Copies of this chain bind each other. A is one copy, B any other.
Amino acid sequence: MVKVGIVGGTGYTGVELLRLLAAHPEVEIQAITSRSEKGLPVADMYPNLRGYLDLAFSEPNMAVLKKCDLVFFATPNGIAMTMARELVDAGVKVIDLAADFRIKDIDEWSKWYGMDHACPELVEQAVYGLPEVNRAEIKKAQLIANPGCYPTAVQLALLPLIENGLIDTDNLIADAKSGVSGAGRGASVAFLQAESSESFKAYGVAGHRHLPEIKQGLALANKADVGLTFVPHLVPMIRGIHATCYARLKDKNTVGQLQSLYEKQYADEIFVDVMPAGSFPETRTVKGANVCRIAIHVPQDGDTVVILSVIDNLVKGAAGQAVQNMNIMFGLNEDAGLTAIALVP
């Protein structure tokens, strides 16, 4: 059994982690911390966990965390970087679901996240936890930077095209749409049901924090910078991300190879589903499941390829991917605790 601790478990990423870990056959949850809610039984805040998890939030306590095999950080940005050093030094593995270790360029990170980095030397050591790209490194990693939700959907959509050099990488477009749980569980007017439901809007066009993360991942595959316009939108639903990615083929004659190229690329990936040609993945088909479904289109005999990619932002886009990374790190079956089928309808 893997002994795990969770730091900061009151948000949506945290409760999703709890839902997955409480049912995981190889995990024992040792502690779940929340400064503000210490003493509160977790099931009082999340009654869906009544009967499944008999644990209360506790004050973060390094001594307790150091006894864990693995600590997940489901905290706001800027927390994990202040605690990871001590845990890593104590031999504890760490998975940060926030953004502290995602961006290799420290200055770039500081610019987008608006703070100095408390632990730049660990950034270098951290492995970006996208298993479909980095599985071998994840296996050996002690510190994982768990990818953001948009970056997961967009990279899985575009990487096969980039790695195979098929598209013009100067003018990529990712028109992405997310359900409201992506905004987190903080009290706010903008995400009241009376405000956000029955409406649709773009946001963050000038620059969303996931932009440098996506560009970094695509550039690595491209072995050169990429040009990307990334426009996130808010969808009036709770869970789900849909990325609609546009790119121009360098050579129109490659159209016929695209479907099989994607199928080959993801043939051994249990959590990436390349759908049949002509499909339209729906976000609800991954609701609660650790799956990314992808479909490839090249409309109107043109040279613009349109990749559709859906994930559950809280699962493959956050907590599920973190559990997948844990499974890889500890030599468990990669789908241990992740076999739930999406809830439809």
User: Which positions in A face B, CB cutoff 8 Å?
Assistant: 12, 15, 19, 22-23, 46-52, 171, 173, 175, 177, 179-181, 183, 185-189, 191-203, 205-207, 211, 227, 229-231, 233, 235-240, 242, 244, 246, 248, 270, 273, 275, 278, 280-289, 291, 293, 297, 299-300, 302, 304, 306, 308, 310, 314, 339-345
Contact = CB atoms under 8 A, between A and B. Distances in A.
B285 A47 contact: yes
A108 to B, nearest CB: 13
Contacts of A299: 205-207, 229-231
A185 B189 CA distance: 7
Contact of A198 (B47, B186, B270, B287): B287
Contacts of A284: 48, 198-199
Nearest to A182: B194
Which 6 residue pairs across A and B have the least CB separation, nearest first?
A: A199-B284, A48-B342, A193-B193, A175-B175, A194-B345, A201-B282
Contacts of A179: 194, 200
A131 B227 CA distance: 37
Given A191-B193, A192-B188, A246-B229, A49 B341 contact: yes
Nearest to A51: B273
Given A202-B308, A297-B205, A299-B207, A185 B177 contact: no
Nearest to A343: B288
